[in-house]
Chains A and B, each alone.
Chain A
Amino acid sequence: MAEDSGDTVAKTDLGESSLERNAQARRRFLRGAVALASGAFLLSIGIADKFFRFFFGPRLSQSEEGELLETRLKRMQETVALKQLELERQHNNYIFVAELSDLQATTGKYFIDYELRPALAFVGRDGVPILLSAKCTHLGCTVGNQVNERNQVLCPCHVSYFDIETGKPNPGAPAKLPLEHISWVLMNKERRIIAGRSADGKGTGNLSGNYPPDTAVYIVKNTESVS
């Protein structure tokens, strides 16, 4: 009986300490849960605040607004200029590329051809212009405009070098076809054609390389116009 009673006491003690441990664990869990919930609540307020501001939209200072508007207008002007080029190519038989004196042998001048593709204009060693399509014949990247010591320009996409005189790619290049030549004419300041060369290489007029100072280079819509 006494033993029974002792056992009961021991069991009761055990039960109480277990209950106490459970209560402590519960308190710890609750404290943890409250801390986590508070953290989550604060975090969600922070996130909600950020997202509210996202939808509300930024409120820029006057100078920021001005700067942004200026950039936007500049880009609009560039877009308008491109559209004008497009219209010009529909209406005009000759399109101005550059003053001959502005063309260089080592750095090409980019322009847009009649098909609205990028093209390059150089002046050759003989003083006669060279006009080439800048659309790589491999996969259509725009080739670079810097001429290397071998008289070539580079397409950086898949590394093809093109001779600017012949348009031909270097042996082993991914591009197999030459860059297309573009028909051009030279006009003097009275807008009279003094020389020209069609895409297939046929030349006409004065191709000596000696031209008056105000000579300008034009591309030609119809190749027949060159002759």
Chain B
Amino acid sequence: MSSATIFGAVAKFFNERFPVEKLNFQSMVQQKTVPVHRMSWGYYMGGLTLFFLMIQVGTGLLLLFYYEPTVNDANLSVEYIMNHVSVGAVVRNMHAWSSSFMIFFALVHLISAFAMKAFTKPREITWIAGVLLLFITFALGFTGYLLPWNQIAVNATKVGLQALDATGAYLPGVLSRVPHIVRETFQGEATVGQVTLTRFYALHVVILPLALAVLLFVHLVLVQLHGMSQGIDREAKKRELFFPFFFVKDLSVWAAVFFVVFFLSLCVPFDCFLPFPLLDPYNALGATPPDIKPEWYFYFLYYPLELLPFWAVLLGTSTVVVVLFLTPWLFRKSSRRTLRYLALAASAYLAAMTLFGQQIYELVKR
């Protein structure tokens, strides 16, 4: 194959994925339509995730005014925000609640897009950008968890980093050193301490949000260029204009969920959601608190780690990651019915581990 042919094939691939001729007001706004069918609810999920991201950015910026990323003051500054700063508790609660909602809706968005086969040509790059966005969202959750610098947070971070390190034992040759080097890079010193906190802070407030912004831009531009996917096997009988009709509906849903998050933040502190309130600051000479668990959105990984050998969880997780990236090609010919069953199975697994993980653990271990 000549270089001209290869270049031509690459150019064709990108021309189809980035139809720049549609970069105009008419295509992206005036003519954009949304199919109306029984899976239409799926079209709201991406917007909702974006809305929670906006809340995260807004409340995160507000928290920056008072949060101090030092092992000495981090916990105290969060306490100060909660107890003394005007609307500080609401802002922090909204940040915490909204992070959970954001991860929840990002997952629902991914699963519903999968079930609706929204990843097929020419939307492969949109899908991959979406998968990367989901991983960044999880990374934001992981890095943000350490910032209050309490006993649970520091120990959970140690576990997370150590789990990363442990994957090295299953890699061949020189690759086996890579996870250890990555852990040491993130940790920055002998044990989780000030250097780790500074690095996690930089990741949480600058590096990951920047990466997220770039990928989100690509994701959203591609969604606008390609329009909404068909979603069901047959062409929908009815379509509605995105602007203004669907957009107004989108805004109404945003308003409703904002009310829910605001109400929860005002009346139910996030600490009540998990049995770990803003705990005492980290004490290097203290034990790990009993019944330590990660945030609920890591249960799907945490309980298998409790129940199965590490290699099995690692193999399963790596397979899922590879499958997620190759979805546009692996499931190119699958029917939407098959995809719906797979999506249902994935949802059932996530729901079972998240809601009943502890009971399953006790049942198996008994």
Among A64, A118, A138, A143, point to the contact of B285 (Cβ < 8 A). Answer: A118
Q: Is residue A202 within 8 Å, beta carbon to beta carbon, of the partner chain?
A: no
Q: Is the CB of A157 within 8 A of B73?
A: no
A70 → chain B, closest Cβ, in Å? 11
Given the known interface contacts A82-B284, A139-B166, A143-B287, the answer about A116 and B190 at a Cβ–Cβ threshold of 8 Å is yes
Residue from the set A50, A53, A60, A139 with the largest chain B CB neighbour count within 10 Å = A139
- Residues of chain B within 8 A (CB-CB) of A51 are 86-87
> Are A54 and B86 in contact (CB-based, < 8 A)?
yes
Interface size on B, residues (CB 8 A): 37
- Judge if A174 is at the interface, Cβ distance under 8 Å: yes
With known contacts A82-B284, A144-B288, A157-B159, A60–B84 Cβ distance under 8 A: yes
Q: Which one of A32-40, A71-79, A162-170, A183-191 contacts B?
A: A71-79
- Chain B, residue nearest A174 (CB): B306
Residue of A whose beta carbon sits closest to that of B72: A79
Residue of B nearest to A59 (CB): B84
Do B288 and A75 touch across chains, with their CB atoms under 8 A apart? no
Flag if A117 contacts B72 (CB, 8 Å): no
Quick check: is A217 within 8 A (CB to CB) of the other chain? no
CB-defined contacts of B288 to chain A, threshold 8 Å = 141-144, 155-157
Chain A residues near B71 (CB, 8 Å)? Answer: 79
Which residues of the partner chain A approach B87 to less than 8 Å between Cβ atoms?
50-51, 53-54
* Known contacts A139-B166, A141-B288; A64/B306 CB under 8 A: no
Is A115 in contact with chain B by the CB < 8 A criterion? yes
User: Which chain B positions have C-beta within 8 A of A75?
Assistant: 72-73, 75-76, 281
Q: Tell me if A28 is interfacial: C-beta within 8 Å of chain B.
A: no
- The proximity string for B residues 274-303 relative to A, scoring 1 for CB distances below 8 Å and 0 otherwise, is 000000010111111111100000000000
Show 11 A/B contacts (Cβ-Cβ < 8 Å), sorted by A: A75-B72, A75-B75, A79-B72, A115-B191, A134-B287, A139-B162, A142-B286, A143-B287, A143-B288, A156-B292, A174-B306
Q: A54-B65, A58-B85, A157-B159 provided; 9 other pairs, C-beta below 8 A?
A: A54-B86, A60-B84, A116-B190, A118-B284, A139-B158, A140-B161, A141-B159, A157-B155, A157-B288
A residues contacting B by CB (< 8 A) are 50-51, 53-58, 60, 64, 68, 71-72, 75-76, 78-79, 82, 110-112, 115-118, 134, 138-145, 155-159, 174
